[in-house]
């Protein structure tokens, strides 16, 4: 009886603490936002600029997050090597884009100069991801869940230091595309051309992926394997082929995201995948891990919050140099999601069997 009473008291204390923590976070957001808006430091055009940049970087996070959420949806594992798949795409495109720039091809054909490196990055990322799946994951498919997780971390470090060994620790400047320099005036707001192109390109790729998953036989097979691999196999679906296809599609999106990321930040390095990878994983969890529309939505939400949050909330709380803490927003959001809504925005609670 005493043990039962103590457990109820402990549960009540934990619940009270969690609710108090929620109230504290909401109060901080409201107070910071109110103080910032009352100060009137930023104009409406500047706020729109923050939102546009947030949508641009959120589109990149969404593309990377698709790889995390698709692999988890089928294998119930987190592919921690996915951030290095993203990095490999950017590196591959860098060398090709540099050669195309030196030959003058990009200046003469800006559209092809954008598309060819993206396609090349998608091919290289897909090839590496398929090798990782075949060597590091497939032999461990029936092992306890911790074993593939360790293998994923090992594959991540192997790829990371392989690229470091081949190309060194230096930072490479990604070539610019002259046609994407400058600004466009959209609805009375100045927007960088590169931001518009990146957002449109990411949106098109996400729409194509969603159409494949929803309206093709391969997509239906992916969804069937995600629900139950054994039953899907009994229905004649080649489970191994579908898993490889899932890795390939997710890696292709990550490779394209690597090129778009390099276009906006203009640099490539062997460690560039870590921070975007963590943020994309946060976006996948935010939207609902295993849910493709959720990954897209989570990426956009995280991108906008990361862009607007420092100026809107942190500055209003009197925090100096708030924009230097923009990366901390992603990690804070990840913790908050895991604490208060682990299934994400569009996710559903999993049964014990699927979890």
pLDDT digits (tens, 9 = 90+) for 26-74: 888 888 888 888 888 888 788 888 898 999 999 999 999 999 999 988 8
* Residue 337 tokens, joined: 């999601």
pLDDT digits (tens, 9 = 90+) for 267-294: 999 999 998 998 999 899 888 888 889 8
Q: How many CA atoms lie within 13 A of 5 on its CB side?
A: 2
Residue 185, φ and ψ in degrees, nearest 5: -100, 110
Distance (Å, whole) CA 135 – CA 133: 6
Helices 110-132 and 146-167, packing angle to 10 deg:
130
Mean local confidence (pLDDT), 242-256: 93
Predicted confidence at residue 10, as pLDDT, reads: 81
Contact 303, 61 (CB under 8 A): yes
pLDDT at residue 6 is higher than 90: no
- Which residue stretches of the chain are H helix? 2-39, 44-75, 82-102, 105-108, 110-132, 146-167, 193-215, 217-227, 229-234, 239-265, 274-287, 292-309, 326-340
Residue 353 pLDDT grade (very low, low, confident, very high; cuts 50, 70, 90):
very low
Classify 1 as helix, strand or coil: coil
Mean local confidence (pLDDT), 223-249: 89
Q: What is the DSSP letter of 169?
A: S
CATH topology of domain 44-340: ABC transporter involved in vitamin B12 uptake, BtuC (1.10.3470)
DSSP secondary structure string, 250-294?
HHHHHHHHHHHHHHHH-EE-TTTTHHHHHHHHHHHHHH-TT-HHH
Q: Domain segments of the chain: what residues?
A: 44-340
Predicted confidence at residue 38, as pLDDT, reads: 86
pLDDT at residue 329 is higher than 80: no
Residue of higher predicted confidence among 256 and 7: 256
CB atoms under 10 Å from CB of 184, counted, come to 12
């Amino acid at each position: 009886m005493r043990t039962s009473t103590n457990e109820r008291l402990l549960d009540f204390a934990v619940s009270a603490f969690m609710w108090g923590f929620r109230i504290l976070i909401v109060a901080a957001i409201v107070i910071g936002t109110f103080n910032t808006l009352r100060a009137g430091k930023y104009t409406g055009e500047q706020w729109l600029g923050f939102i546009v940049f947030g949508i641009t970087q959120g589109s990149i996070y969404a593309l990377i997050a698709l790889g995390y959420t698709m692999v988890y949806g089928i294998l119930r594992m987190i592919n921690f090597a996915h951030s290095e798949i993203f990095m490999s795409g950017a590196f591959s495109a860098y060398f090709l884009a540099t050669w195309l720039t030196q030959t003058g091809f990009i200046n003469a054909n800006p559209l092809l100069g954008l598309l060819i490196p993206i396609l090349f990055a998608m091919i290289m990322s897909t090839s590496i991801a398929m090798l990782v799946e075949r060597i590091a994951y497939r032999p461990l498919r029936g092992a306890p869940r911790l074993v593939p997780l360790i293998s994923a971390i090992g594959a991540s470090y192997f790829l990371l230091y392989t690229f470091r060994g081949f190309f060194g620790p230096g930072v490479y400047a990604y070539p610019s595309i002259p046609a994407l320099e400058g600004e466009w005036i959209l609805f009375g707001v100045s927007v960088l051309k590169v931001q518009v192109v990146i957002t449109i390109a990411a949106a098109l790729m996400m729409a194509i992926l969603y159409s494949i998953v929803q309206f093709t036989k391969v997509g239906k097979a992916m969804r069937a394997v995600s629900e139950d691999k054994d039953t899907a196999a009994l229905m004649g679906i080649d489970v191994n082929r579908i898993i490889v296809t899932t890795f390939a599609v997710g890696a292709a999106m990550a490779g394209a995201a690597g090129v778009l990321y390099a276009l906006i930040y203009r640099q490539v390095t062997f460690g560039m995948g870590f921070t975007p990878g963590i943020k994309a994983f946060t976006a996948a969890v935010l939207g609902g891990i295993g849910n493709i529309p959720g990954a897209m939505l989570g990426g956009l939400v995280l991108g906008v919050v990361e862009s607007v949050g420092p100026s809107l909330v942190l500055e209003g709380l009197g925090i100096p140099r708030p924009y230097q803490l923009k990366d901390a927003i992603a990690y804070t959001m990840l913790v908050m999601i895991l604490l208060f809504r682990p299934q994400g925005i569009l996710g559903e609670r999993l049964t014990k069997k699927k979890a």
